[in-house]
Amino acid sequence: MKAIYALAACMVFSAAAIASEPSPVTVGHLQAVPGQTPSISYITGTATNTKDQALGRR
């Protein structure tokens, strides 16, 4: 039973690691503003920047 929990935890952590890796498609689609380091939430699109809101981007 412990092996099943260990395997499930490993799968969750690996899925989280894959999700936190910025994919080139997402980064290219959002086009981060120069002179500004995009955070993980900015790359995934969960947080909107005020500068991007002014430009009409999401």
Residues 4-40: tens digit of each pLDDT? 665 555 554 555 555 555 554 444 445 555 555 555 5
| Position 10 in a domain | no
Residue 29: predicted pLDDT? 47
pTM for the full predicted model: 0.21
Residue 35: predicted pLDDT? 56
| Position 18 in a domain | no
Residue 28: predicted pLDDT? 45
pLDDT at 44 over 50: yes
Angle 50-53-54 from CA coordinates, rounded to 5°? 90
Residue 2: predicted pLDDT? 67
| Position 12 in a domain | no
Instruction: State the residue range of the domain holding 29.
Output: 24-58
Q: Note the maximum CA span of the chain.
A: 53
Q: Total structural domains in the chain?
A: 1
3-state DSSP percent of the chain in helix, strand and coil, to 5: 65, 0, 35
| Position 35 in a domain | yes
